[in-house]
């Protein structure tokens, strides 16, 4: 199962963490895993490009199954606002996946 955790401060997402594998079908054909990966990595790439920043990123090794991204300290209000909106959009997309494939993905907030 994929576990998604959004970390909030003052109501805004400042970090998120994904761990696990969906295991909905055999490796290489798992659409849940592919969807979650596309949404999360696309969001990280959007934050990097559109907010012109380098977030703190941790990833698992060869087996994958782990991604953590955290916004760095000291961002301007404009960059923070853009990043928060992009991360909220990511959560909406992940919640849509979870609505249809809740057996393979859980979402929580801290």
Residues designated as active site:
21, 33
3-state secondary structure 19-84: ECCCCCCCCCCCHHHHHHHHHHHHHHHHHHHHHCCCCEEEECCCCCCEEEEECCCCCCHHHHHHHH
């Amino acid at each position: 199962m994929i576990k998604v955790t959004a970390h909030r401060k003052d109501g805004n997402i400042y970090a998120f963490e994904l761990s696990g594998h969906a295991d909905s079908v055999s490796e290489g054909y798992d659409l849940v895993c592919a969807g979650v990966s596309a949404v999360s990595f696309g969001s990280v790439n959007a934050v990097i490009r559109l907010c012109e920043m380098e977030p703190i990123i941790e990833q698992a090794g060869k087996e994958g199954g782990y991604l953590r991204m955290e916004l760095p300290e000291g961002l301007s209000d404009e960059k923070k606002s853009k990043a928060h909106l992009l991360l909220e959009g990511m959560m909406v997309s992940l919640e849509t996946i979870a609505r249809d494939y809740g057996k393979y993905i859980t979402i929580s907030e801290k």
